């Protein structure tokens, strides 16, 4: 265990200020995230350094399409989440009850230190990885470990990426952002009612997170379109208006296809809904993508000026690139908003 940050003592209780829940935690109990416990009046992080998942993934899997396309990134995750989405597609590691989390930790042998994460970033960097992604479950759930690891990774000269629900308070986010190079932020809906009913959270902090992150690092947005819940033209239009108006029309957005999982049994997102989302977003945003739908025509990066395909994808693999002089369109010469170079040779 590790002493947590961003909390205050309240007599025998403690109040956590990592995320907007502001949990007041009684002695021996945990917060809503299940992994921060009041131990004799001290808030402890139960999952510090406890790695449940570690894989070398394509950066496109995060998904980040406009950040070092074609590269791999070493991805780490732990257990727990500060939201309780009933459609969660990683519920096996994010929604475990405290007793199962405790048992899981007792069986785990893959405990890591931030220094080891930095060393792994360098080791895999020699094989073409650009750094570390904190993903699979919510990174703020092991905030102290992510912050310390991100420092070590930056010292080694590599990149840090967050794949996040954006449900983090301003002060801890402000401390973390100087070490972050890119973030994919999941804005689940523009309805606060959706967040309260289905996710056990609030919308406003997520939007604030997105705006703060956009000022400091590369940001891409993901929206899982859940059948019958956030899939109306009005819902999608509000999201596109926020991204274009507050984050900028060059902010990439990924509409992801929902499928039944965990406690949600609505049918998978109809392709027509994904097509509608793509059309609505393309009117106001330059980089629009559709995920979780194999071999679809909306997975490619288009030139914002001539609208020709400059990066063609099949799944997470890049099949052709038409860029020149860095990140300029090979057809019309317009600048394409991509951070970093393409991993392979342009024009293949």
272 and 337 inside one domain? no
104 and 194 inside one domain? yes
71 and 186 inside one domain? yes
Which of 280, 298, 316 is the last residue in one of the domains?
Answer: 298
- Reported pTM: 0.96
Which of 298, 316, 338 is the last residue in one of the domains?
Answer: 298
The yes-or-no verdict on residue 345 having pLDDT over 60 is no
Contacts 24+ apart (CB under 8 A), 297-306: 298/274, 301/65, 301/66, 301/69, 301/336, 301/338, 303/329, 303/331, 303/332, 303/334, 303/336, 304/250, 304/334, 304/336, 304/337, 305/329, 305/332, 305/334, 306/331, 306/332, 306/334
105 and 20 inside one domain? no
- 116 within 8 A of 123, measured Cβ to Cβ: no
286 and 213 inside one domain? yes
326 and 262 inside one domain? no
Domain that holds residue 319: 300-348
Q: What is the CATH number of the domain that holds 219?
A: 3.20.20.70
20 and 64 inside one domain? no
Q: Which residues contact 193 (CB under 8 A, 6 or more apart)?
A: none
The pLDDT-based confidence of 240 (bands split at 50, 70, 90) is very high
How many folded domains does the chain comprise?
Answer: 3
82 and 230 inside one domain? yes
Q: Which residues contact 40 (CB under 8 A, 6 or more apart)?
A: 27
Q: What is the mean pLDDT of the chain?
A: 94
Counting residues of the chain whose pLDDT is more than 70, the rounded percentage is 97
- The 10s digit of each residue's pLDDT in 266-279 is 999 999 999 999 99
108 and 214 inside one domain? yes
Higher pLDDT, 135 or 346: 135
90 and 124 inside one domain? yes
- The 10s digit of each residue's pLDDT in 61-84 is 999 999 999 999 999 999 999 999
- The 10s digit of each residue's pLDDT in 226-236 is 999 999 999 99
31 and 148 inside one domain? no
DSSP bridge pairs for 3? 44
11 and 143 inside one domain? no
- The 10s digit of each residue's pLDDT in 293-329 is 988 889 999 999 999 999 999 889 999 999 999 899 9
The yes-or-no verdict on residue 346 having pLDDT over 50 is no
Nearest-angstrom CA–CA distance, 52 and 45: 15
């Amino acid at each position: 265990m590790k002493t947590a940050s961003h909390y205050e003592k309240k007599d025998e209780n403690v109040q956590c200020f990592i995320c907007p829940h502001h949990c007041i935690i009684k002695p021996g109990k945990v917060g809503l995230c299940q992994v921060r416990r009041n131990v004799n009046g001290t808030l402890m992080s139960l999952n510090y350094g406890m790695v449940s998942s570690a894989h070398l993934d394509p950066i496109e899997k995060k998904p980040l399409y406009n950040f070092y396309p074609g590269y791999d990134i070493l991805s780490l995750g732990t257990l727990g989440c500060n939201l309780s989405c009933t459609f969660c597609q990683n519920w096996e590691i994010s929604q475990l009850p405290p007793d199962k989390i405790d048992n899981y930790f007792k069986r785990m042998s893959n405990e890591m230190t931030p220094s080891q994460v930095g060393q792994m970033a360098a080791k895999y960097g020699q094989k073409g990885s650009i750094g570390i992604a904190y993903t699979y479950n919510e990174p703020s759930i092991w905030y102290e470990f992510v912050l310390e690891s991100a420092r070590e990774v930056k010292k080694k000269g590599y990149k840090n990426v967050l794949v996040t629900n954006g449900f983090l308070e301003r002060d801890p986010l402000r401390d973390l952002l100087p070490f972050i190079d890119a973030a994919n932020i999941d804005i689940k809906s523009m309805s606060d009612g959706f967040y309260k009913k289905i996710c056990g959270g609030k919308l406003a902090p997520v939007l604030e997170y997105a705006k703060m992150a956009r000022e400091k690092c590369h940001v891409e947005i993901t929206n899982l379109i859940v059948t019958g819940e956030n899939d109306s033209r009005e819902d999608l239009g509000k999201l596109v208006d926020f991204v274009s108006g507050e984050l900028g029309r060059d902010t990439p957005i990924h509409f992801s296809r929902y499928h039944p999982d965990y406690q949600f049994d609505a049918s998978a997102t109809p392709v027509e809904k994904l097509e509608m989302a793509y059309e609505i977003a393309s009117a106001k945003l330059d980089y629009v993508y559709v995920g979780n739908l194999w071999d679809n025509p909306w997975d490619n990066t288009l030139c914002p000026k001539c609208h020709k395909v400059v990066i063609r994808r099949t799944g997470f693999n890049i099949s052709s690139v038409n860029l020149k002089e860095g990140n300029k369109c090979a057809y019309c010469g317009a600048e394409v908003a991509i951070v970093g170079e393409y991993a392979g040779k342009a024009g293949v």
